[in-house]
């Protein structure tokens, strides 16, 4: 309330009368891109997006390029788009988050097609499905993968064994092959430990299951397919978790979630490799009690980002050299050691940094779970509007979670809302 009261210069009745002024709008034209000053390379990423030692090493490795790194907090995509619109201080190289890449593809003319500056020679080093995410339908490659987010099931070995479930990762994998098995184990666990919910948040579970599929909400012909069986199945599994009462309804990242991880009330997290960092930050007393097992019903991918060269780059070739160096298999392995940034280059999986046993996971070697997962990620087409259309499904599911709506009522209203959002933007 305060800000509005302060910035009162905004407008008023007069605005209604003065509509004529609006005729001259200053829409920036992508065709007239201004080049940045040469001699420097401005590099943007978000906090924790790049490995610290890799970054320092890269800057030192290219002394002539004067790499200037900026860590941009807040909403990264919005900052980037507004900066593009603003037309000044646009970076030469920028990170693009995995969840934003689909919606950035229509902005392809803001970026250099890396194929035109020699990307072909290195694209084969990266996981094919990941490169596809940054490839437009007409074949332009906008970014080189920094990392990927293969999922796994993180769980508390102590809570599992105390609740009559297996504790050993191999046995957990054996018993929890599918989500149905997993939920059944949850019912078992709750019998002896009523405070432990095997599903942290059914709305998250829903998102994971959708990510496990080979189709999403909108197909390549720009048709809405979110009302079909593949989505409904994910929905029904999430609802099953709710009706079996094994859903903890704990929002990921909330104070309850952070506290619950350490206390054992959130005994599992289904998440990407980088979630390990969040878990480690939250846990002080349960160090060594966590384990990693394959995701029930198969791997999925959450996030994993890219580095791209903007059209404003003074010297795109030099910028590409920097990216190439920074994201080599060796350096991606180093970034993993820095901050659990999981490599997108399969060659890195054999490096010592990834082979290391992790005391936080009781001496387990996480790559043994993540490595195979990374290579088996299902490929699904993600339309630019995908995340906008997905929102109503999660929102409505939360109402089922809160006991405010039946599953069927929530489903039909989610479908209807999603269709409407799509229709507004031209989805069939």
Partner 1 sequence: MTVKWRGVLMHALLAIAGVLCLFPFYWTLVMATNTTSDIYRFPPKFTFGSQFDDNVHAVLRNVAFFQSMGNTAIVAVSTTALVLFFDSLAAFTFAKFRFPGRNALFVILLATMLLPAQLGAVPQFQTMAAFGWVGSLKALIIPAAANAFGIFWLRQYFQNSIHDELVEAATLDGCGFLGIYRHVALPSARPALAFLGIFTFVGSWNDYFWPLIVLTNPDHLTLQVALSSLNRSHGVDYSMVMTGALMAMIPLIVIFTIFARQFIKGATEGAIRG
Partner 2 sequence: MTLTATAPTRPASTAKPQRRRGILSYWRFYLALSPFYLLFVVFGLYPVASTILLAFQKWDGLGPRKMVGLQNFRFLIEDSTFWLSLWNTVVLFVMSTAPTLVIAMTLAVMLHSAVRFKGIYRIAYFIPNITSLVAAAIFFAAVFSTNFGLINAGLRSLGLPTEDWLRQPWGIKIAISTMIVWQWAGYNTIIYLAGLQAIPTEQYEAAKVDGAGPFRTFFSITLPQLRPVVLFTVIMSTIGGLQTFTEPQVMVGNNGGTGQSGMTVVMYFYNQAFFNNDYGYAGAIALSIFMLVLLFTAINWKLLGGRGRQ
Residues found near partner 1 in the complex (CB under 8 A): 2-15, 25-28, 44, 46-48, 70-75, 78-79, 82-83, 85-89, 253, 255, 258-259, 262-263, 274, 277-282, 284-285, 339
Count of residues that bind partner 2 according to CB under 8 A: 60
DSSP state of 21: G
Judged by beta carbon, residue 279 or residue 389, the one nearer partner 2 is: 389
Contact partner, 262, from partner 1, partner 2, none, Cβ < 5-8 Å per class:
partner 1
Cite the DSSP H helix spans in 153-228.
157-162, 169-175, 179-192, 202-211
Least distance in angstroms from the C-beta of 212 to partner 2: 23
Task: Pick the binder of partner 2 from 402, 406, 408, 409 (CB under 8 A).
Answer: 402
251 interacts with partner 2 by CB under 8 A: yes
Contact partner, 278, from partner 1, partner 2, none, Cβ < 5-8 Å per class:
partner 1
| Dist CA 41 CA 125 (whole Å) | 25
Which residue has tokens 């709305």?
Answer: 203
Which of 303, 306, 238, 241 shows the shortest CA–CA distance to 275?
303
Contact partner, 375, from partner 2, partner 1, none, Cβ < 5-8 Å per class:
none
Task: Pick the binder of partner 2 from 56, 71, 75, 229 (CB under 8 A).
Answer: 75
16 interacts with partner 2 by CB under 8 A: yes
Least distance in angstroms from the C-beta of 199 to partner 1: 21
Judged by beta carbon, residue 28 or residue 402, the one nearer partner 1 is: 28
Cite the DSSP H helix spans in 35-113.
52-61, 76-86, 98-104
Contact partner, 398, from partner 2, partner 1, none, Cβ < 5-8 Å per class:
partner 2
- What residues contact 311, with CB distance under 8 A and at least 6 apart? 30, 33, 109, 110, 111, 112
Which whole-number Å values give the CA distances from 168 to 104, 174, 214, 269, 361, in the listed order? 42, 10, 30, 16, 11
Q: Are 99 and 149 in contact (CB under 8 A)?
A: no
Judged by beta carbon, residue 8 or residue 137, the one nearer partner 1 is: 8
Least distance in angstroms from the C-beta of 328 to partner 2: 33
Least distance in angstroms from the C-beta of 427 to partner 2: 12
**Hey, what are 180's tokens?**
């149905």
DSSP state of 379: P
Least distance in angstroms from the C-beta of 1 to partner 1: 11
CA atoms within 13 A on the CB side of 368: 14
Q: Are 76 and 305 in contact (CB under 8 A)?
A: no
Which of 358, 357, 367, 360 shows the shortest CA–CA distance to 332?
367
User: Percentage helix, strand, coil, to 5, in the chain?
Assistant: 50, 10, 40
Interacting residue ranges for partner 2, rule: CB under 8 A: 1-5, 9-12, 14-16, 18-23, 25, 27-28, 30, 75, 78, 81, 84-85, 103, 106-107, 110, 249-251, 254-256, 259-260, 265, 385, 388, 391-392, 394-396, 398-399, 401-402, 404, 413, 416-417, 420-421, 423-425
């Amino acid at each position: 309330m305060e800000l509005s009261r302060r910035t009162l210069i905004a407008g008023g009745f007069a605005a209604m009368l003065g509509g004529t002024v609006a005729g001259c709008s200053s829409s920036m034209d992508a065709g007239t891109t201004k080049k940045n000053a040469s001699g420097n390379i401005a590099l943007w990423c978000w906090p924790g997006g790049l490995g610290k030692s890799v970054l320092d090493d890269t800057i030192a490795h290219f002394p002539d390029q004067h790499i200037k790194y900026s860590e941009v907090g807040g909403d990264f995509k919005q900052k980037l788009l507004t900066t593009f619109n603003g037309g000044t201080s646009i970076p030469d190289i920028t990170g693009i988050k995995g969840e934003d890449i689909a919606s950035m593809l229509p902005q392809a003319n803001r970026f250099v097609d890396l194929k035109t500056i020699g990307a072909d020679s290195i694209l084969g080093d990266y996981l094919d499905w990941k490169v596809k995410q940054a490839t437009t339908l007409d074949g332009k490659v906008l970014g080189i993968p920094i990392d990927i987010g293969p999922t796994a099931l993180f769980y508390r070995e102590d809570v599992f064994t105390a609740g009559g479930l297996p504790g050993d990762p191999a046995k957990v994998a054996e018993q929890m092959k599918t989500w149905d098995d997993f939920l059944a184990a949850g019912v078992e666990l709750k019998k002896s430990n009523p405070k432990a919910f095997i599903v942290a948040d059914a709305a998250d579970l829903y998102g994971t299951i959708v990510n496990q599929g080979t189709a999403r909400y909108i197909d390549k012909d720009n048709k809405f397919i979110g009302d079909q069986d593949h989505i409904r199945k994910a929905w029904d599994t999430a609802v099953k978790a709710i009706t079996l009462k094994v859903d903890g309804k704990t929002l990921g990242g909330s104070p309850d979630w952070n506290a619950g991880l350490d206390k054992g009330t959130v005994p599992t997290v289904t998440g990407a490799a980088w979630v390990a960092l969040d878990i480690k930050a939250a846990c002080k007393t349960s160090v060594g009690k966590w384990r990693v097992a394959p995701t029930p019903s198969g791997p999925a991918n959450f996030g994993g980002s890219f580095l791209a060269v903007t059209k404003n780059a003074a010297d795109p070739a030099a910028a590409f050299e920097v990216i190439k160096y920074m994201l080599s298999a060796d350096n991606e392995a180093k970034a993993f050691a820095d901050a659990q940034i999981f490599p997108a280059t399969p060659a890195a999986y054999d490096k010592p940094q990834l082979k290391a046993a992790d005391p936080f996971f009781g001496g387990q070697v996480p790559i043994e779970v993540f490595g195979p997962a990374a290579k088996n990620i299902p490929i699904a087409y993600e339309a630019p509007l995908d995340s906008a259309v997905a929102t109503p499904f999660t929102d409505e599911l939360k109402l089922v979670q809160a006991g405010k709506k039946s599953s069927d009522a929530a489903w039909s209203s989610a479908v209807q809302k999603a269709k409407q959002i799509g229709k507004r933007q031209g989805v069939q």
